[in-house]
Chains A and B, each alone.
Chain A
């Protein structure tokens, strides 16, 4: 194993060396000013093409400084500032050299350590203020810091005043408990965290020596985090160190790499270690993210497949609209060839399932195949989008999102009203922004205005706050309820400002039944740490000023649906995209975060723009998606290409959802499913309540509608499902039913070939192949009359449990 690994890396070295001589040298960052005595800053030397980073230099690098008294550079390219002035740093590789001018100012005095900008990052990275240690809600052993150091005033107070001030000794800094514990010089449950000669120790020591000053308005304001390089194209096996820079309001830029928490969005493609070195695993794309002092940054990584794809491939591939242009651009970056378009039989089935949740009938398939029009797919899409089943399917999807179930709404009049509200909106194709506005600003009686049940379903303010964010912004802000979000920019203050938008909603018993949702003129939610309310304020919107007679939720709705709000449009685009394409541009589909970017950001932006330009007309967006070549591609990789399940070079096959599968069984067999409380003939997708009993739906992953989370629906295979298909009373009973379409072929003693073909057409929308025909006919051959029905059932069972049927492909 090790031996072969060594061979791999050796051969890569050879390849890279060739690249170095072919490409240009790049030295980052492009400009640099050091403003502190002893300040360190890493330089990154790499190779690139047209300024685009394609990997580190793997040959020997010689680093040199023009004046070692001002700035020194070590053999790894790390600079240290000593005295003011200008120097030139030169990196030489073989016969190529590249230089960087570096200015030093302010090195005359020893560095001033700021609590906010220097001490807090050390406390985080050494583990002190993390969740398992003193950052836990209740701290550890009586010493409690805010999680990852977001509450500077409290943390400073805890360090300098609590425990009778024993933690810090400004008189004799080295005797501070605050230093002795992490050095391991006195017993410390958390063990030794650093050495006395480390930079971390020096920073804390300096800070104490300087009087342990607290947060100060004159502290440089930390404005932005940046990963260098900002994007990369690397090869498998490459190890690429990263540089992370913090930018401050006074123009200072600092190398903060050593205190950063790194992560990768796709660890099958690349992993990143504590020090910020990326190791590329295999072809694909990934984002490497950095967290530092409550801000995040990312760098985009593309790893092309080894086999090059000729540029003409993308030029000749079907290109129907803007979607295909952006997908082809990404595929070209990664050397993935797009698949061919699927055939018409596959297309009509796929479009029906994804849009309507039903199968096309054999007659509909034949009519489509016989249609000779060049634009027949576009015409079919238009027809499908205006069919009545569209309303069932999409009402069901939004009912999942809004958690409509009798568990949450015990009053059936309320449940029906909420369902009716959603259904009417889908029926009239109400723009998504208007639909969401109707919900979050709903007032009135919940048996009349169904949307108002949103506030019956979510009565608690945190629940309303978090559900609204999850459902309509595709973001979880739950973390910020108790402390600043550890992975995102959301702070606890923002959470409580947002939460306060809901604090004046009142739900009262309705005089004529149900509940009345009203907006009161008073009431605030308290910030738990500050003990007083935060002014109502949408997450990163402006403070809402209360006016008599004005509902705070109006401001919320305006902010939510404003074109400038980047999250709202992304969230719905991502949900609709996933429905058709099988994979969200962001996955999980409702986990939008800066640190979880779309696999194709230009495409995401273009889709968002499209939806906004169409006035949030979801059918319009669906039409754009369905018309793209990407949606119409085969579920099979291009000839000779590896399968791709991420970048939309091929249609991503997936199992039919629980409801669609059950309805398809009813449709194919002609035997409707009985649901308690519903008239015969209701389909699963027409159920208003997720609690309607059905073992089949539960086994195949129907969401419970307990919690707003895409994770509720699962399409994984399990033995419970296959046992049920084999032995259960769902499919078997439908096949045996007298009303089943099979009865006709038993009773009428139709020719075997005709019966077999009928079963194939009903199940698959196609005729059997000759070998399928032969195998099925031989299964009927010589079967006694009383056994014939069983044989027909077995053929139908085999088709209806096959992958061709269970999958949308």
Chain B
């Protein structure tokens, strides 16, 4: 497997000022890692002026296009479902009545109504495609877009480049990878996984900070002694896994000593009113935390709305246990999304950050146009909708369209690969940037010829 080469280790030139290091002395031996970044810059892979952030809101389970953002009020009852469309603040956009707050921000987002994929209609496949732009089943694991951003753009402000919260997606039935790691780029570019629920009163990020009894002096002593001891096993320096371990240590050191990181994760600094606005639940508070992180230099945040589709109320409305009923869209899931999404757009806009932050709200597939005997809808990868906002994306537009029953795109079909290309385009990654794959052949971030949806910009 390809691993990061020693040559890619570069020293931070102006890092000291940006990093609130507790002990500058430690830096002397810690060749801080800016993986790929300078190299990528040298090759022109990153357009610094256009460098932007991204927040992925993953509506795990697969929202029904017909009950959310692609309403078909004129279709027969068994197609159009129980919800009615409502007007938004954008003349061209109508969305489901389950999203009254979102409707007030339609000037900030656009809808792609013609997403589709040709893979099997199981969750894992959609998760792979929507996060990596590729389908790899159980083969070579492709990197999540946020991990590509982490590899190509590097970290900023001493913050991890990519944070995944609250937890990774777990089993959804297929036992295949969900595409939420750095895959062949190696664990170094894995997202920092929060593994904690920011809506809980005692929320803190596990292991982020040293325990109180370990003073700054002790931290420095530990690090310098460890570096000294490692001199004796020089032969391990040629071991690619061991090199990665060193890099992980260095990342950990820099993160734990960062005042910015400490503050970024301290959600209690937000007012009660703000916290209420996003919704006092895992997803709502994760969206709020995502905003805090992006404000402080995290480039890419992935928020998983759910971690499974079993025995939990989610977008996966098959209508029968252990899945969810359609009614949960108005009772629980819809409002949960509505509050958080509207608040996030609103606040990003208010702080001016929306211009530099792309917000993608997406599911892994759509749902069958016809309501099934259990009163739900089943998997339907042939058509669904995705919301795009910020980072140069113009609001109030509708891209693509489906047929009269929301079954197939009839205009401007968009694949997951094109969506990922749109994200890269939006955040400033050249689409022809090549990644080091385990083979000798470099792999472009998206397959050659994949075009972004330029109509959004």
Contacts and interface: CB of A to CB of B under 8 A. Distances in A.
Interface of A: 132, 137, 267-268, 271, 281-282, 634-637, 643, 653-655, 695, 706-707, 715-729, 732, 736, 769, 771-772, 775-776, 779, 790-791, 794-795, 797-799, 801-804, 806-807, 809
A383 to B, nearest CB: 27
Nearest to A140: B118
Contact of A807 (B118, B160, B242): B242
Most A CB contacts (10 A, CB to CB) among B120, B175, B211 go to B211
A480 to B, nearest CB: 15
B186 A801 contact: no
B58 interface: no
B249 interface: yes
Interface in B229-245: 229-230, 232-233, 235-236, 238-239, 241-242, 244-245
Nearest to A801: B226
Most B CB contacts (10 A, CB to CB) among A637, A721, A771, A799 go to A721
A775 B252 contact: no
Contacts of A769: 232
Given A719-B190, A722-B251, A727 B225 contact: no
Contact of B235 (A775, A790, A801, A809): A809
A720 B207 contact: yes
Nearest to A701: B187
Interface bracket on B: 35 or more
B441 to A, nearest CB: 7
A794 B222 contact: yes
12 contacts: A267-B438, A268-B2, A268-B438, A271-B440, A655-B241, A720-B207, A723-B206, A726-B207, A727-B208, A769-B232, A771-B228, A790-B218
Given A790-B218, A798-B222, A717 B229 contact: no
A649 B235 CA distance: 15
Most A CB contacts (10 A, CB to CB) among B118, B229, B230 go to B229
B236 A803 contact: yes
Contacts of B253: 726
Interface string B183-215: 000111010110100000000001111110110
B159 interface: no
B38 interface: no
B225 A653 contact: no
A721 B171 CA distance: 23
Given A271-B439, A715-B241, A803 B190 contact: no
A775 B252 CA distance: 24
A313 to B, nearest CB: 20
Contacts of A725: 252
Given A267-B439, A727-B211, A803 B238 contact: no
A706 B440 contact: no
A720 B239 CA distance: 20
A349 to B, nearest CB: 12
A635 B235 contact: yes
A776 B235 contact: no
Nearest 7 pairs of A and B residues by beta carbon: A798-B225, A267-B439, A636-B235, A722-B252, A717-B245, A798-B226, A723-B207
B171 A723 contact: no
B328 interface: no
Given A732-B211, A799-B229, 4 more contacts: A281-B440, A635-B239, A717-B241, A726-B210
Contacts of B211: 727, 729, 732
A369 to B, nearest CB: 18
Contact of A727 (B256, B439, B440, B441): B256
B338 interface: no
A721 B160 CA distance: 15
A135 B195 CA distance: 41
B213 A707 contact: no
B235 A716 contact: no
B440 A719 contact: no
A772 B229 contact: yes
A795 B195 CA distance: 30
Interface of B: 2, 118, 120, 160, 171, 175, 186-188, 190, 192-193, 195, 206-211, 213-214, 218, 221-222, 225-226, 228-230, 232-233, 235-236, 238-239, 241-242, 244-249, 251-253, 255-256, 438-441
Contacts of B188: 717-718
B439 A806 contact: no
A654 B120 CA distance: 37
B229 A654 contact: no
Contacts of A726: 207, 210, 222, 249, 252-253, 256
A228 B192 CA distance: 49
A653 B256 contact: no
Contacts of B225: 775-776, 779, 794-795, 797-798
Contact of A802 (B193, B230, B256): B230
Contacts of B245: 655, 717, 722, 803, 806
B339 to A, nearest CB: 30
Given A655-B245, A807-B236, A716 B221 contact: no
Contacts of B218: 790, 794
A718 B160 CA distance: 13
Contact of B439 (A268, A634, A718): A268
Contacts of B441: 267, 271
A706 B171 contact: yes
A555 B340 CA distance: 60
Nearest to B210: A727
Contacts of B228: 771-772, 775, 798
A645 to B, nearest CB: 8
Contacts of A655: 241-242, 245
B187 A717 contact: yes
A373 to B, nearest CB: 28
Contacts of A806: 245
Contacts of A718: 187-188, 190, 248
A227 B245 CA distance: 42
B232 A268 contact: no
A720 B193 contact: yes
A727 B251 contact: no
A21 B221 CA distance: 65
A716 B91 CA distance: 52
A804 B229 contact: yes
B144 to A, nearest CB: 14
Contact of B175 (A268, A706, A727, A736): A706
B233 A807 contact: yes
Given A271-B439, A271-B441, A727-B209, A717 B244 contact: yes
A716 B244 contact: yes
A660 to B, nearest CB: 16
B245 to A, nearest CB: 4
A716 B187 contact: yes
Nearest to B229: A802
Nearest to B240: A645
B241 to A, nearest CB: 6
B379 to A, nearest CB: 13
Contacts of B248: 717-719, 721-722
Contacts of B232: 769, 772, 804
B26 to A, nearest CB: 12
A247 B256 CA distance: 65
Contacts of B252: 719, 722-723, 725-726
Nearest to B242: A803
B248 to A, nearest CB: 4
Most B CB contacts (10 A, CB to CB) among A636, A729, A779, A803 go to A803
A771 B440 CA distance: 42
A636 B239 CA distance: 9
A687 B239 CA distance: 31
B251 A798 contact: no
A790 to B, nearest CB: 6
Given A720-B207, A721-B248, A807-B233, A802 B226 contact: yes
B369 to A, nearest CB: 17
A653 B249 CA distance: 19
Contacts of A736: 213
A775 B228 CA distance: 8
